[in-house]
Structure 1
């Protein structure tokens, strides 16, 4: 132990991959199973940080995560910064020996003493692996063998394009007032790739890149996009949700969401080639990252969706939303039923009548 104390501590950036299943999120939290708790304990066991570094990481080792991930959410490109004992041989291998297989440290790079993985991050990219049956038109019966058409794909992409730019997302999170400056967020990209089939279910990967995101923001962005494409919400629902009034925005399931990449363009331009530091980028690990993403994140999403039907269960309650502004009455806040919602309920009644007539 005396020998360890003589080691030099230096600031580093660490690339971390994990499957969030079974964890209460990333951030260390007393009496909760979190990714950070397991990581910090493993680093103590590996001799990379002192014990007090795990107990009070923010103060003792300047620990900082680049982006939070919520309960069950995975990451294929999380970056944390901290001070570690730089003289420890093979720190990555030693840390991984003390981690469960669903958490992997991939690389460690020396950074400037002032580097902060959160503050120096200029953009974040998230993926959402979605079963395409989520976009089944409301007038049709949702089946697991649903296959998305070119017309629906085009509509999805058109809806997602609306998000690009700077908008007020106070209705896409919780506890945020419309007049708060922090409610405005800048979205650089929102797209959906080509569909593919796994275990009989068709999936597609949605990609969203933004400067930063608030809690639940991405899942709510996807939730209302699904409602529009299905025909449950009007085409202007997104732009109306950016308004000052409270707006009914559904939150899509957490299964399928993962942090994919963190971008350090400004830091890399300034320090990446100064002769003393290297860029905070991980291109040399792309094969390892893709392998982990496919085998330890995507495959779990496929199996879980097939077994537990998370999206189908969520879709069964989607019609309960009004996708409209909240209206104030003497009795309090009351949502006004939208014309789209009324139309959907009429369709449900017609389908019930048809089903009853068939049974008779």
Structure 2
């Protein structure tokens, strides 16, 4: 449409040609662009022409939509129509040449019909069949080539998987590159069973794989929860649960899976977790007379009235100079803890209840970090029980969450009890002073199961309120008690028996306690009879320690060479001051970001 407006000679020459563009909203979802040309019958003089600036829209010519929209041209003026058509063609030509510039009216250009640029070529969906064909140069790799046909597609459902595992021989729970992990073995079994499609087999992130509790290397679990989007029904797999277990090794069992909401995350929705630690009762025997730890504690307690560690009955009447390590270990396994010492254990462990700053019971954490605060709901110490020749004690921890290497709690419990330190030392360890607490061996640690009380209550009272269990929207609770008998059998066969067998053959706990007694520096002087932390044992940044305590990494292992068979005399666990070392912060920085149990 061409509008002719009368202008006087006194009008500014700039107004001789004006392009007006606006958008008329015809419908909420559609819009149409109109362009009008306002012409003056008085042409501008050449000297009056205003040259456009670099960013002026005039240099782009009239909007191309002015010529392309039906009914927008003026049939009464053919010359003007031809001029408008030529301007539009010129604008379209510039538009094709300068694809990244804006159009004549200043509107952002549409990418429709443009060639795909070569930027971000790596941001494609990983693991698709098309990508694999392109990489291999096979059929369908080039332009016009056909892509290999995909298999049948089955619906995926967000599910929570309930499983148990023996962590021996695995580098922890979470998937790691180039390492055997529990999640890695489980995911491979799900792929082979058909619960995870081939399109998603290369990356667990595609199926939202997550876990309730991350366990350290070698740590066992009687119960843990893994969630992912999985295929629960296939016509060629009559029993998906049985099919997955066929692909799993005997030390990893999947007990069942339940449908959960799509937003389900087992780590964030887990209310609390239960861990059990087993240790031989002979760890409570006081340090060997003449050992470096005994001398350090005696030297610090010279002005103290009591020192019960000097004349313990276990060490009395024995020629310690001629007794071998194997003979000492045999006597230790036949020793039975007195009831008063078990009562002392229970008195000390009560100091862990409640919310405290556990910065001294992990590694790589500053004193003032909020994540150091954890809540212990309940702690139970069972009566000692004899298995074979060795007496064992189990401690059950029920906490809201646990940090990396928080089995240091067990070391503080055992070491303070065997050295006669008062239970008030536990309160001192919550303070602002940093000290070194050794880690107990990984062999005795067991994750019982995570607890989902809040989630189970929500699905029962809100989601399942008016639904029958057979309804598609029904969500079952996450409950390990359903598989209580099967889990008990699994624990006895694959965890307890394996744990005791390794201890009987290698004497791991005895080697660990001897490494503690061999230390003669100042780092463990807080195990004194006063219940205070002396300045000598405080670990501070920038302060050089003359004789720092060394953590031996071999005590983090739960699998050992099968060809070493001479009890505690095995070279694998012999004392070696040069082996191991303290865990550095750099080694665990990535693990600390997922402090979830």
Deviation at 1:144, TM superposition (A): 1.2
Provide the rounded CA distance (Å) in 1 between the counterparts of 2:364 and 2:539: 19
Query: Are residues 1:241 and 2:429 paired?
Result: yes
Q: Which of 5, 11, 16 is the aligned partner of 2:163?
A: 16
The answer to whether the 8 Å contact 1:227/1:318 transfers is: no
- CA distance change for structure 1 residues 2 and 49 in 2, over 3 Å: closer, same or farther? farther
The answer to whether the 8 Å contact 2:278/2:395 transfers is: yes
Provide the rounded CA distance (Å) in 2 between the counterparts of 1:80 and 1:110: 12
Q: Which residue of 1 aligns with 2:280?
A: 131
Q: Which of 64, 75, 87 is the aligned partner of 2:210?
A: 64
Matches within 5 A, 1:159-170: 159-170=348-359
The answer to whether the 8 Å contact 1:127/1:258 transfers is: yes
Provide the rounded CA distance (Å) in 1 between the counterparts of 2:228 and 2:166: 22
Provide the rounded CA distance (Å) in 2 between the counterparts of 1:50 and 1:310: 43
Q: Which of 240, 243, 246 is the aligned partner of 1:97?
A: 246
Whose RCO is larger (CA < 8 A, sep 6+)? 1
Matches within 5 A, 1:1-360: 5-58=152-205, 60-88=206-234, 89-138=238-287, 139=312, 140-141=314-315, 143-217=332-406, 219-231=407-419, 233-272=421-460, 274=464, 275=467, 276-319=474-517, 320=519, 321-324=523-526, 326-327=537-538, 332-334=543-545
The answer to whether the 8 Å contact 1:76/1:260 transfers is: yes
Provide the rounded CA distance (Å) in 1 between the counterparts of 2:449 and 2:272: 9
Deviates more, 1:158-167 or 1:140-149: 140-149
3-state DSSP class of the match of 1:334?
Answer: coil
3-state DSSP class of the match of 2:486?
Answer: helix
- CA distance change for structure 1 residues 287 and 323 in 2, over 3 Å: closer, same or farther? farther
Q: CA RMSD in A?
A: 2.2
Provide the rounded CA distance (Å) in 1 between the counterparts of 2:343 and 2:504: 26
Provide the rounded CA distance (Å) in 1 between the counterparts of 2:409 and 2:541: 31
The answer to whether the 8 Å contact 1:7/1:85 transfers is: yes
Deviation at 1:334, TM superposition (A): 3.4
Query: Over residues 168-217 of structure 1, what are the superposed CA-to-partner deviations in whole Å (9 max), with x where a residue is unaligned?
Result: 01111111111111010000112210111112111121100101001101
The answer to whether the 8 Å contact 2:435/2:539 transfers is: no
Unaligned runs of 5+ in 1: 338-360
The answer to whether the 8 Å contact 2:189/2:244 transfers is: yes
Structure number with larger C-alpha Rg: 2
3-state DSSP class of the match of 1:279?
Answer: coil
Deviation at 1:44, TM superposition (A): 0.3
Q: Which residue of 1 aligns with 2:471?
A: none
Deviates more, 1:33-42 or 1:46-55: 46-55
Deviates more, 1:234-243 or 1:88-97: 234-243
Q: How many residues align?
A: 335
3-state DSSP class of the match of 2:487?
Answer: helix
Query: Over residues 237-281 of structure 1, what are the superposed CA-to-partner deviations in whole Å (9 max), with x where a residue is unaligned?
Result: 221111112112111110010110111000000113513111111
The answer to whether the 8 Å contact 1:4/1:47 transfers is: no
Provide the rounded CA distance (Å) in 1 between the counterparts of 2:161 and 2:525: 42
Deviation at 1:236, TM superposition (A): 2.6
Normalised TM-score (structure 2): 0.54
